[in-house]
Structure formats: C-alpha cells, structure tokens
C-alpha cells in the first residue's frame, strides 16, 4: 500500500531564515535585493539616492569605466549579444580565444580556459578532476562554488577548519595512504572575512603529500601581487600551485571565470568539464569588457589603482578601529610588505543589530554588505565592507561620519569588548 508522501513545499513554511527575512522586511531593515540605478561606481544611485558603494567587488572601479563600456559595446556589435551555444559547439568566438591567451600570458602559464562564471569554473574544474576514489581537501571557509563543486564531484569532500594547517596535514596524511588522487582547494583571499590563506603552509603540505593544489584568486586578481597576478605570485609561490582560477566579474569589470595551468590539464577540462560544456559561453560583451579590464589592470594604471585601493582600505580600517569597531582582518606582512585585502569585516553582536547597523548606514548614504546566518556561522553576523580604488577622501569621510553615528546610536547594544573580541 502506498503511503502519502510529505509535501515538498512544507520546508518553505518552516524555513527559519525566511521568517527572519519577513521580520526584517516588516521593520524595513532588509539589506538584500536593493536596486542599483546605474553602474556599481564609487557612489551609485541605489533606491533613488546616491550611496557610497562599500558593497561590491568592483575593487579597481573598472566596471562603469567608459573604456570597458566601449569594449563591451564593440564586442556585442561584432559577435552578438549572446553566442547562443556551448563553447564546444558554436560558442567559441575569436574573443574567447583571445581572452584565454591573455590570461595564460598574464599568469605565465601554458594555457587557460574561460567559463561562463567563476562559480561554474570551480564547479567544472573540481567536478572533472575529483573522480571516484579521489578526495577534495577544502577549507570550510572556501567559497560556495568550491564546496558545491566538491559535493557534486564523484570523489569525497574532506573539509578542514579555516586555515588550520594541522588539520590539513592530518587529512592529507590519511588520504595519502589510499590509492586515489588528492586535490587541495583554498581561496587565497576569503570573500567574507577578507583574510588570506596560509599559502606557504598549503603549498608546502600539498607538495609533501603528493596532492595537487587549486587556488581561487577571485578577490586577488587585479588587486594583489605583481601586475595584479594574485596572492600565489605575491608570495613567489605560483610555481608551487598547480591550477589558479579567478573571475572577470570582480576587479576586472567583466564577466566569466577562468582557470589557468598546464596545457594537458586545461585540454582535459576542455572536453571533460560538464560546467564548461553544458552551458552557453560567456556573452561577448562580458568578455570584451574583461579583456579591456585586464589590459588596464596589468598596466601602470592598474598599479596606481592598487596603491590607491590599499591606501583607502588602510585609511578606513584605522578610522573604524578608532571608533571602537572590532574591524578585521589584521593585515599580514609578506617580505616586509604589508598585504592589505580590500575587504574589511565589522562584526555585529547579532543578526538584528547587524541589520540595524546596515540601515543606519544606508540612510546616511553608505551601502555595505551584511552577512547573516547561514552565510556565516550562527552568532557571527558581520558587515562586509569592500573598498574601491575610486573612493575619494571626501567619500571616505562621509563613510566615517556615518559609522560615527552608528557607534553613538547603537553603543548600548555593541558589547564593550567588541573591539577586541575578534
């Protein structure tokens, strides 16, 4: 006798975060799905008012730059607004080949492959490489596309606690005793916390245990390292990394993702990676803009923008710390140079207070991102403040004034030890 199955939609009604979202909506505190009325510039129009943009990955300010807009327009005129097909079939334009050659040249690798997005890049690379009997050793703080890629792969996902090299070693020691291959995957810059991977530790351990290493440089490409090549290059460890991936959708102002490395591995992915083959290629406009953005990022102008970005971030970090916010992460020193990612984390005592902090800032013309559970572990609500090279001193002053109001108005809710707690 067949019983009644459960209602698939029952979970919708019992969804915890959904109820909380409704509550925020009712109190006009919902920080999500806000509407932009122009490019994500330093001060875009959002919901009818100009707001200083501390909530994008447009780190160099290239999205909205007239040179990228023109490149996107030209690409669309020449190759169409959509390629209407897979790279494998009718979706490879000259532009896609040009951008792959440019990526390989920039990173000094043999070859590169361009995907529809950074998300599908991780899905496609990990999915194709980590086969039955293999393992993917991933930082628990890795981007969702990495963890999803590992979950989807036929091999097993072995997660380790964020940046804990002792855990990596324990997992690798065990995995190395089995027959399967091992892929270690880390973000070089963690997108929510803004901290760096222990690249020295992870390259050393991968090598010692015969594992292959894939690093996600999404937030480092164009932002850190020589010519904006990212953290592996900055640490002079590019040769110790097997595969590097990144995206055009952040500092480079375009769209699409890429992976670069040895020619034979890239060629294998070209015909084995499902997230590469079974989806339409990135639209020409997105690739045209990426090529223009990459050219600027690699040139002297890119370096000027990186210097400005680091200075802006340092300036804002110091001002927020002075106001008593427990702003993280602590910048690290590499080769006597202070490495500053453009992502600042401002912890909040709880989800509701985080939303109230966001609203106070928004009302004063400042837009930041808010990470609530389940995007971050319970009790670790935070504002994610991402700085741009094109923020001026006047913009930053406006931001500091807005945070001053938050500190004053919410002082009773912000624990006294907030400044030192994280």
Residues binding ligand PMP (CB under 6 A): 117-119, 122, 143, 145, 187, 191, 216, 218-219, 247, 249, 257
Closer residue to ligand PMP in complex, CB, 187/242: 187
CA–CA separation, 52 and 41 (whole Å): 9
CB of 353 to ligand PMP, least distance (A): 25
For the chain, how big is the Rg over CA atoms in Å?
A: 22
Q: How far is the CB of 7 from ligand PMP (least distance, A)?
A: 33
* Dist. CA 25–CA 19, nearest whole Å: 10
Q: Which residue, 216 or 351, is less far from ligand PMP as judged by CB?
A: 216
Residue nearest to ligand PMP (CB): 118
Q: What's CA 226's distance to the chain center, in Å? A: 19
- Count the residues in the chain: 422
What letter would DSSP give residue 155?
A: S
Kindly tell me the number of DSSP H helices and DSSP E strands found in the chain.
16, 15
Residues 6+ apart with CB under 8 A from 23: none
Residue 175 or 183: which CB sits closer to ligand PMP?
183
DSSP letter, residue 211: -
145 or 313: CB nearest ligand PMP: 145
Integer Cα distance of 29 and 174 in angstroms: 47
The CA distance from 161 to 141, in Å, is 8
CB-nearer residue toward ligand PMP: 29 or 83: 83
User: Please, what is the minimum distance in Å from the beta carbon of residue 289 to ligand PMP?
Assistant: 13
- Please state, in angstroms and as integers, the Cα–Cα distance from residue 171 to each residue in 39, 132, 138, 178, following that order: 44, 18, 10, 11
Whether 343 and 220 have beta carbons less than 8 Å apart is answered as no
Q: How far is the CB of 133 from ligand PMP (least distance, A)?
A: 26
Q: How far is the CB of 192 from ligand PMP (least distance, A)?
A: 8
In the complex, minimum distance from the CB of residue 124 to ligand PMP, in angstroms, rounded to a whole number: 11
- Closer CB to ligand PMP, 182 or 218, in the complex: 218
């Amino acid at each position: 006798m067949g019983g009644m199955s459960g209602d698939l939609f029952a979970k919708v009604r019992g969804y915890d975060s959904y109820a909380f979202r409704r509550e925020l909506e009712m109190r006009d505190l919902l920080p999500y799905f806000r509407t932009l009325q122009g490019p994500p510039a330093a001060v875009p129009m959002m919901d009818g008012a100009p707001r200083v943009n501390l909530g994008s990955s447009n780190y160099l300010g290239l999205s909205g730059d007239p040179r990228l807009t023109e490149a996107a327009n030209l690409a669309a005129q020449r190759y169409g607004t959509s390629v209407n097909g897979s790279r494998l079939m009718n979706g490879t334009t000259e532009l896609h080949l040009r951008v792959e050659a440019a990526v390989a040249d920039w990173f000094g690798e043999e070859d590169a492959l361009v995907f529809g997005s950074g998300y599908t890049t991780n899905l496609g690379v990990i999915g194709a490489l980590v086969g039955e009997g293999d393992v993917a050793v991933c930082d628990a703080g890795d981007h969702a596309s990495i963890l999803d890629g590992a979950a989807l792969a036929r091999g097993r996902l072995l997660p380790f606690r964020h940046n804990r090299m002792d855990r990596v070693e324990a997992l690798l020691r065990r995995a190395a005793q089995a027959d399967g291959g091992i892929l270690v995957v880390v973000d070089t810059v963690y997108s929510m916390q803004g901290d760096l991977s222990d690249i020295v530790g992870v390259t050393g351990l991968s090598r010692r245990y015969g594992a292959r290493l894939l690093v996600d440089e999404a937030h480092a490409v164009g932002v850190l390292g020589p010519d904006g090549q990212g953290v592996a290059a900055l640490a002079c460890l590019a040769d110790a990394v097997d595969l590097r991936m990144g995206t055009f959708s952040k500092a480079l102002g375009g769209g699409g993702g890429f992976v670069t490395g040895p020619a034979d591995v890239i060629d294998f992915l070209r015909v084995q990676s499902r997230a590469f083959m079974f989806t339409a290629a990135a639209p020409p406009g997105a690739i045209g803009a990426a090529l223009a953005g990459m050219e600027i990022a690699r040139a002297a102008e890119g370096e000027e923008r990186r210097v400005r970005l680091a200075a802006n971030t340092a300036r804002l970090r110091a001002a927020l710390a002075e106001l008593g916010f427990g702003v993280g992460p602590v910048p690290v020193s590499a080769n006597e140079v202070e490495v500053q990612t453009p992502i600042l984390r401002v912890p909040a005592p709880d989800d509701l207070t985080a939303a109230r902090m966001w609203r106070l800032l928004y009302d004063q013309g400042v837009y930041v991102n808010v990470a609530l559970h389940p995007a971050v572990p319970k009790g670790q609500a935070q504002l994610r403040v991402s700085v741009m090279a094109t923020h001026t001193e006047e913009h930053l002053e406006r931001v500091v004034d807005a945070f001053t109001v938050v500190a004053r108005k919410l002082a009773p809710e912000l624990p006294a030890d907030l400044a030192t707690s994280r």
